[in-house]
Amino acid sequence: MVREKYINNSITHFQQLIIIVEPYISKEEVLLYKSKFAQIKNKNDYVDLINNLENTLNQNKQRVPEFNFVF
């Protein structure tokens, strides 16, 4: 059950970041991020993807929501 909650929170966090970053990137880049998300194989893939999104948000002076995992 804890693992499922962690996975759901990870998906939610990604979706939040995509919605926030969308006005600052092209439609093709949005599709590319979603494609990369669908191809995640391990934690490093997820972390790299999230870091790229967060960097873009920071460059555009947007608030980056924290990833919270609370029971």
The span from the CA of 31 to the CA of 54, in Å, is 17
Its domain, for residue 28, covers: 2-59
Round to whole Å and give the CA distance between 62 and 46: 20
Residue 70 inside a domain? The answer is no
Q: Is 41 inside any structural domain?
A: yes
What's residue 51's pLDDT?
A: 95
**53 vs 3: CA distance, rounded Å:** 24
Mean pLDDT per block of 10 residues along the chain (71 residues) reads 85 95 96 97 95 95 80 51
The predicted model scores a pTM of 0.86
Please indicate, yes or no, if residue 38 is contained in any of the structural domains: yes
Sign of CA dihedral 61, 67, 70, 71: positive
pLDDT at 36: 97
Does 52 map to a domain? yes
Q: How many domains does the chain have?
A: 1
* Residue count (the chain): 71
pLDDT value at residue 1: 81
